[in-house]
A and B are shown apart, each in its own frame.
Chain A
Amino acid sequence: MNFLRTLLVRREAGIAVMIVLFCLAVGAVKPQFLSLDQLRIILLLTPLIMIAAMGQMMVIVARHVDLSIGSTLGFSAMVSGMLYRFDVDWFGFDVPWWTGIPVSVVVGALLGFGNGVLIQLFRLPAIIVTLGTLSLYRGLTFIISNAKQIDRQWIPSEIKGLSQTSPFTFPEFLPIVGKFNIPWIVILAFGIAILAYLFLMHTRMGRQIYAIGSNPVAAPLRGINVTQVNLAVFTISGALAGLAGIMYASRWGFVNPSNTGNGFEFQVIAAVVIGGVSINGGVGTVLGTVLGVLLLGCVAAALPLLGIPGTSQAAIYGAVILLALLIDRTVRRQGIVSLKRVRP
């Protein structure tokens, strides 16, 4: 009984119910929505968002926001793409296929660290700083790439394979799930989510992120190194956006200076806020964020089935953000503070 009440009160349960209801509703109209093929489509729609959402979630829990992740994704993907494209010209040999992964993560981390330094050093609102770096990093992507796309043939097949192959397939004799497999990229995304959970719930710094978001004024009085934590949070957000960058190359097989990652930040923010992470800081769980990502994935997968053109996706993300704000407000009636008013 107590358990049931907790379940009802918990935000995660609400999202899970929403996912189920949504899938059943769509399935009632288009039964093929409730198939394993469709599950695979949904799962493949989500990993990039999920990886970046883990970083964005930490940023929002700490009462900031990072608008630059789309550009960070684009820039890191471009650096790796160019590494694959020009490795022979630059170094005289082919770099191993996996080089792009650490390179993207490190590049992303550096860009995120840059955000953190500006925000923390000059005490500026994250939203304006990252609006600036959104433009700045996108511009840098054009500059380094000379505005040229990295085409399919340059992305190593192993990288592309991460989105297609799977470490294991369910044996054929099993009912329903027979022959079903989960691609590497999805496993990686869930792996990141588990790491994020361990970090946020079970390390000192993870808890300090919640403390800062909960009461930024009191945090330094309790000996929390706010500068260190904020820098770490933005660096992680950047690093994960970078990882999402190389996964973009894996998933789509190209890197384009203008398209790659464009508008990505809004999808991620939508997923995070629908997942119950409060824009007032201090509140939010990894599970909720994962469910938020999955819900968006279901919606995105259902659109073509329902005959809704893909062009309406952005509008839906926008509506979802507003809806999540409404829910957030209803859940915590008291203590709504404007982000802008909080000066660290």
Chain B
Amino acid sequence: MTDPTNKAEPLLSARGISKSFAGVEVLRDVDLDLMPGEIHALLGENGAGKSTFAKIVAGVHRPTRGTLRLNAETVDIPSPLAAQRLGITLIHQEPISFPDLSVAENLVLGRGSGSPLSRVPWAEIIGDARRLIDLLGVRIDVTRPMRGLSIADQQMVEIARALASDSRLIIMDEPTAPLTPKEVETLFGIARRLRDEGRTIIFISHRLEEVRALCDRVTIFRDGSKIATEDIGNLTDADIIRLMIGRPLKEYMHRGKSHIGEVALKVEALSLPGYFENISFEVRKGEIVGLGGLVGAGRTDVARALFGVAPAASGIVWVNGKVVHITDPSQAIREGLAFVPEDRAVAGIFRTLSVEQNITAAVPRQIAPSGIIRRTIEKAMAHDSVRRLRIRLASLRQPIGELSGGNQQKAILARWLLTDPSVLILDEPTRGIDIGVKAEFYDMIGELAAAGRAILLISSELPELLALCDRVLVMSEGHLTADIPRADATQERIMSAAVPQFREAAA
């Protein structure tokens, strides 16, 4: 491999790229050169700006300031479509597709121009699609509808689409998260081939081993700024982590030991065919149990089953020593469970309703003992929560949608604390939240455990699991594959349990 930085003209050069959302700067003066024929990793914590940068290049967002030069010409990329026409394709983690149309049609849709009544050259489309899919060395029947294709195959179709439009720059935004190791290998093989053809690939991931296996250079983002761009060989993992978080991991999170009491939640042989099988574990009072694994491993499904959103088909659950059969969230709440769901916008907040209403949503009996809402009680409860969790807002009557993500999440947490749960299930509680607020959350979670609540923490961020949890459970493809005590927990152990094929391959 020749050094790509060597004298060659950059394919894309970004100068002074900045981006603000609602007056808040999320990207600050980023300069970056991408060379033809390189795989370039963008690394950084959630919210560090790497995805925002990628989306600016792909035309999803427009920069507030700064210029992009493509092949030494200044370009303006107002839309994803414009990006596509310039030869830039963004491949989403879960590709956007038209599920009712065939693979071949999905490949060509939006390509070319012509009158609305011009004929669709079916034979040519199907022929081209077969050729492109064959080129990638995967087996997909291009006349099948997209619906029902695995995520990996959908990504392949996206990549084929990038090739069809002869993209010179392909951006992969955390493509490997939902893939099996075998699929990851296929993807990497294709990515290398594309690079060798002289195309440029931006690879966004938080998995260092993948970055190391695939990429030529890395750029590290932190808090909206570019921190460094280096050849991957010049950095050790420790260097990268240091650059990403800006301080040693140890200081990043800490919590005191809390007293671990009796079993609060016990699960035995919980199964929901197609989602998870034979899940057994227990969580004690005062204990924080992590639940790790890859996206799609079935962690959220277990949480949803426990909480009665999508009940399990079989298995026994004990809450505080009592067998319960929970088939509805309202029942779960009565039994002392609480669940902060993963996707706040979808399953958490009532966007247009007041913060107050959002906070008191799960405790109707408390604010309306007789069915009639007692405003004074409600107001007092909401006020108290806002003060305790330090929720920053202008007024309790403000629609919650006007608050920042972190404060929305605090309001959801406040909602559940009002139910005084004995078991708290947190599903990716810090996703999309500022680093500063994150630290506050970690403190809060620690305090909650110290107060004797049992906490099941689902997280994809390994450092989060390692720092907060007394034990880490790991799920992989619907099965519980590990139960690691704090002392033995390492990133490697969790990862290898999350990816069972990894072990088989190694063995």
Residues of A within 8 A of B (CB): 199, 201-208, 210-211, 213-215, 217-219, 221-224, 228-229, 232, 281-283, 335
Contacts and interface: CB of A to CB of B under 8 A. Distances in A.
Given A207-B105, A211-B109, A221-B80, A335 B99 contact: yes
B182 interface: no
Given A221-B81, A223-B81, A224-B109, A207 B120 contact: yes
Given A202-B122, A224-B110, A282 B98 contact: yes
A203 B110 CA distance: 13
Between B96, B105, B116, B147, the greatest number of chain A beta carbons within 10 A of the residue's beta carbon is seen for: B116
B120 A215 contact: no
A206 B117 CA distance: 8
Interface residues of B, number: 22
B98 A218 contact: yes
* 5 closest A-B pairs by CB: A222-B110, A282-B100, A205-B116, A223-B110, A214-B100
Contacts of B110: 222-224
Nearest to A221: B80
A282 B100 CA distance: 6
Interface of A is mostly: helix
Interface string B109-134: 11000111111101000000000000
A283 B100 contact: yes
Interface in B73-117: 79-81, 84, 96-101, 105, 109-110, 114-117
Nearest to B147: A335
Given A213-B100, A222-B81, A203 B116 contact: yes
Interface of B: 79-81, 84, 96-101, 105, 109-110, 114-120, 122, 147
A205 B118 CA distance: 8
Contact of A203 (B97, B105, B119, B147): B119
B97 A218 contact: yes
Given A211-B101, A232-B116, A282-B101, 15 more contacts: A203-B116, A203-B117, A203-B118, A205-B117, A207-B105, A210-B100, A210-B101, A211-B98, A211-B105, A214-B99, A218-B98, A221-B80, A224-B109, A228-B116, A229-B116
Nearest to A222: B110
A226 to B, nearest CB: 12
Given A210-B101, A218-B97, A204 B116 contact: yes
Nearest to B121: A202
A214 B147 CA distance: 10
A207 B80 contact: no
Contacts of A217: 96
B115 A204 contact: yes
Nearest to B108: A207
Contacts of A201: 120
A221 B96 contact: yes
Contacts of B115: 204
Contacts of B97: 215, 218
Contacts of B116: 203-205, 208, 228-229, 232
A207 B109 contact: yes
Nearest to B82: A223
Contacts of B98: 210-211, 214-215, 218-219, 282
7 contacts: A203-B118, A203-B120, A207-B101, A211-B105, A214-B100, A219-B98, A335-B99
A224 B84 CA distance: 13
B118 A204 contact: yes
Given A221-B81, A222-B109, A202 B99 contact: no
Nearest to A201: B120
A215 B105 contact: no
A23 to B, nearest CB: 31
B376 to A, nearest CB: 36
A219 B106 CA distance: 11
A141 B118 CA distance: 37
Contacts of A219: 98
Contacts of A205: 116-117
Contacts of A202: 119-120, 122
A219 B101 CA distance: 12
Contacts of A207: 101, 105, 109, 120
Contacts of A224: 109-110
A207 B80 CA distance: 21
B160 to A, nearest CB: 15
A99 to B, nearest CB: 26
Contacts of A203: 116-120
A202 B114 CA distance: 13
A201 B121 CA distance: 11
Nearest to A225: B116
Contacts of A281: 100
Between A213, A222, A224, the greatest number of chain B beta carbons within 10 A of the residue's beta carbon is seen for: A222
Contacts of B80: 221
Contacts of A232: 116
A282 B102 CA distance: 12
Contacts of B84: 223
A204 to B, nearest CB: 6
A232 B115 CA distance: 13
B112 to A, nearest CB: 9
